[in-house]
Each structure stands twice: as structure tokens, then as C-alpha cells.
Amino acid sequence: MGKTAFVFSGQGAQYPGMGKELYENSPAAKAVFDMAEEIRPGTIKQCFEGTKEELAITINTQPCVFICDLAAAAAVAEQGIQPDFVAGFSLGEIAAIAFAGMLTYEEAFRLVCKRAEYMDKAAKENKGAMAAVLKLTPQKVEQICAEFDKAYPVNYNSPAQTVVAAAEEEIDALCDRVKAEKGKAVKLAVSGAFHSPFMNDAADALAEYLKDMTLKDPTVPVYANYTAEPYAGDYKALIAAQVKNPVKWQTTVENMTGEGADRFIEVGVGKTLTGLIKKINADVTAVNIENKEGLDSLKN
């Protein structure tokens, strides 16, 4: 029998009304939302009633997506389904380590709120932009980025999708180079150049905040974005390094399937990871659980 992986969605997948059906249909999910509301009043209202623009602001996006991720995972677990492995995309990794018991839910939520503050500050002080590059190999994207002063591949999403980060003044020229190589470049509606050296200050601030925290060993393997391997060694260093280094998503999925994962359940917001996983390996099952329909499908 194959193994199950929970994968936690990241920033960019947010939308107005997210999490509301989970809150209304799962006591476990409701408890997660209520916990967040006590720590950060207004979080539930932002998730359920916030505008697209409000939810796109990093200091709002990260706490709201995080809590939807964790609530979805709690709702799935409430149905009696437990993962053999977990991983999260960028922000989703913090939800993954919380679900795996490395931090309490309260500690992890406070950490995410700080992470959002630090990344927002770094983005404002170090102006950058991001674009998804399609139809080109990661190697070709690396070659194109090397032609620019401040351009970096930052999300290795699938064999034909790599996200890049670059200085604001370079992103248009980079997109033109991608088109010249018969690729497609789509600029992303994000507020900064995440997972790149533009986030060095945020990583340093996060490392300082983590100094006073105690992380437990995970109850199930948590695959780190930074290494694409299960968390090992200095947990705090992995969490801090993640914000300024590439997300190795394709390799992460390949490594989990190599360990027997053949069912991936995307917990949280949207279907982004479900789509990427199917492009990485068409032979696995990948579904997303973010609402009542998703929860009901687990009962069949």
C-alpha cells in the first residue's frame, strides 16, 4: 500500500472567502481559526470577508493562508486520515512543521506573523519583482538569470515552470529574454522578490526571533524547501534560510514519491500544488481539500 503526503499551500493562492466552509463544517478547523483569532483579532474576518487587495498584502496574506492550511489539515485528520510525510510550499512549510508537532499551533502562528512582518519590511527596502517562466528548462532559466546583475531562479516548481526574482528595473528585460528563447514569462502579483538575496534581512531577523524558541522533533518527516530532504540538523537554520533561498519543490515531490508517497492531499488554499504535482508525476493521485465539497469527497 502506498503512502500519503499532506502538502500545505503557499502565498499567492489566497482568495476572498477562503476557509469559511471549513470553519462551518469542521469542529477541528473551527478550533484552529478561533486560536488564531485570539492571537491576531480580525484574522477570521480577513479570511472570510477580506477583499482581494487586502488579502494580497503580505502582513495579511501569510497569517490568513497559514491558518487556512492548518485548519484544512486538522479537518482532514478529523476524518481519520493521517500523513506519512508533510511538506509546505514556502509559507506552507511553517504550517507543515506545526502540524508535525515541531511547534505548537500558537507558536507557529506567532512565528508566521513575524515572518510576514520581516518579509514585508525587506520587500519595501529592497525593491524586487517575480515572474513565472514557462516552457523552458530550469537550466535554461538559470542561464538567462546569469545574464543579469540581480536575477535569481527562486521556485523550481516543475520540469517546465521556474519562478524567478529580479530587481524591479530588470524584470521586464528578463521577461523579454525569456520570450526570445521561446519561453513564456508571467509577472506575478507579489509585493517582493521572495526566496532570493533580496530577503537576506528578513532571514536574519527570523533567525534572531527563532533563538528563543524550542523546536521538537517532527512526528512525521517534514520535507524542507531548502534541502528537499526531511528536516534534520539545525531546524531553526532551515526555517530562516528558507526565506532567502530557492524552493526546491520538484525535487521535494520526487523525493517523497521515491519514499513511497502515491497520494498527495493539498491542504489549504487553491489547487496550485495539486497541478504542479501532476506535472511532476502523472502516476500519483493529487487532490486539494479547501471546502465542504473536498471534505465530503474524503468520506466516499
Question: What is the rounded CA–CA span in Å between residue 245 and residue 198?
Answer: 10
* E strand or H helix that includes residue 228: none
Q: Which of 90, 158, 191, 196 is catalytic?
A: 90
| Three cell numbers, residue 257 | 514519491
Q: Which of 9, 26, 191, 195 is catalytic?
A: 195
The vertex-150 CA angle with 10 and 171, nearest 5°, equals 70
Q: Does residue 9 carry a catalytic annotation?
A: no
CB-CB contact of 105 with 32 (8 Å): yes
Q: Identify the sign of the CA torsion 182, 189, 111, 114.
A: positive
* E strand or H helix that includes residue 8: strand 3-8
Q: Does residue 195 carry a catalytic annotation?
A: yes
| Three cell numbers, residue 223 | 520535507
Q: To which residue does cell 513575524 refer?
A: 114
Q: Which residues are catalytic?
A: 90, 195
